[in-house]
Chains A and B, each alone.
Chain A
């Protein structure tokens, strides 16, 4: 459902969503938020991001 929270979040990203595309965009945004919640597992500050990923020497096929 399109509401002020969705509108504000997408507007922060510079997007004015046309009226006829709002309902589906809101569904997509809320689904993305659900996924974002899964990203923040327990990890230390030393846990670094993948720039892409590593191919360890000697572990290639």
Chain B
């Protein structure tokens, strides 16, 4: 691996920063000023943020410090700076969806996730770039420029939680919250070299998050470490009666078994889904095989399994997503088409041509695929598979119209939006071009703690959290 190893303030994990906060060796104001300074210094190049809420953040940080001094501890994110993808409603703070259609929208109420983060003492430092309405792509004609990949600013960040991936990788925040309909938490995590978790459908509230596809949308954290993702989940997960898909069940202890290792666990491994694909990078494959070797040497039983062809998952998910997105945007597509970015229009408008029977057939296939994935998981604790097949594409790979070449968007994440199973992306290292590679772990419904446990074992062995993109230390010039 190459990169910058650092012990600077921004590189503290949530747990490390939290320990220092509680020991009064650092304050929330210190952490927040550090985040805001880094954003001011570097975000002109990275473009992770569309709105920086510095006044709000410093007020919240002062409050967090006062509360800790008074013995009030709101949990693992108390006093910790974070940021939200700009499709999450924030009371009194514009929520643009990165679209001209809603560029002036100022919500009257916080979304469910933001309510939990605020109740947990978190300090929001801003709203993050997305692809328009969490779909689109890195279009140049939107109100804000696309976020750029901190590992190489000529490359894009993966998918629509684009600012979230960039902000965590650049060390602006330790935790960012994104949405994931076909891989938009996991794609930026994969391409920016962070951890990204799409929880089980229904575990994290979607209330107040602008919908792309009601039945495929999930909200989840991007973080620099597995533990930080687990701590974020402790805060954002839980029942919300305002979200019709929200599940009313006890929130599991996501970080309770991170140190338990993998001895005796059964891991399903599905190389047939991706290894023979012509675009699969040998370096991506090698990273996954390193992880398999780590699991075996750590005492897990790794067994090759067969999943349905990726193309079936992709077709099922794309048809459902396009139909639901068209239903959401139907009026604007008819009445204000020129206000959409070109990529968004090209991806949603074809939904007008789907038939009712097409949609029902997709839903029938969805049930079959979900059952087949569950059959593979039966008898296993987790499934290990690819997250993506290539490293991050260059912006120049994207033309005027959608789609770009397959190599630019070769993600393997949509199957688990179709089935609803939880899925986590973990970095495996850097390719020869200096860009991150990664893998995907999939678990049983509400089995996030098990995924995080396996991911923590791999993280310790692969060593990624010590490596940062070069050029983002305080005082280091951005290349």
Residue B351 at the chain A interface, CB threshold 8 Å: yes
| Contact A49:B364 (CB < 8 A) given known A10-B350, A16-B334 | yes
Interface residues of A in 20-61 (CB under 8 A from B): 21, 23-25, 27-29, 31-36, 38-41, 43, 47-56, 59-61
Of B42-50, B184-192, B258-266, B308-316, the segment with at least 4 beta carbons within 8 Å of chain A is: B308-316
Residue from the list B338, B366, B448 in contact with A18, Cβ < 8 A: B338
**Count of inter-chain pairs, beta carbons less than 8 A:** 143
Q: Give Cα A51 to B419, complex, Å.
A: 12
Q: Interface size bucket, A side?
A: 35 or more
Residue B438 at the chain A interface, CB threshold 8 Å: no
B445 pairs with A49, CB closer than 8 A: no
A38 pairs with B367, CB closer than 8 A: no
B444 pairs with A39, CB closer than 8 A: no
Residue B289 at the chain A interface, CB threshold 8 Å: no
A29 / chain B contacts, CB cutoff of 8 Å: 349-350, 353
Q: Give Cα A61 to B215, complex, Å.
A: 21
A33 / chain B contacts, CB cutoff of 8 Å: 353
Residue A17 at the chain B interface, CB threshold 8 Å: yes
Interface residues of B in 359-376 (CB under 8 A from A): 360-368, 370, 374
The winner among B247, B314, B351, B447 for most chain A CB atoms within 10 A is B351
Q: Give Cα A32 to B403, complex, Å.
A: 12
A61 pairs with B353, CB closer than 8 A: no
B351 (CB) vs chain A CBs: closest residue: A13
A31 / chain B contacts, CB cutoff of 8 Å: 350, 403
B163 to chain A, nearest CB (A): 25
A14 / chain B contacts, CB cutoff of 8 Å: 330, 334, 352
Residue from the list A21, A50, A56 in contact with B366, Cβ < 8 A: A50
Q: Give Cα A16 to B349, complex, Å.
A: 10
Residue B446 at the chain A interface, CB threshold 8 Å: yes
| Contact A61:B350 (CB < 8 A) given known A39-B358, A49-B360, A55-B445 | no
Q: Give Cα A59 to B349, complex, Å.
A: 39
Residue from the list A10, A25, A38, A56 in contact with B374, Cβ < 8 A: A56
A54 (CB) vs chain B CBs: closest residue: B370
B443 / chain A contacts, CB cutoff of 8 Å: 61
Besides A10-B353, A29-B349, A50-B366, 8 new A-B residue pairs in contact (Cβ under 8 A), listed by A number:
A9-B353, A11-B352, A13-B354, A18-B338, A24-B345, A24-B400, A39-B362, A60-B447
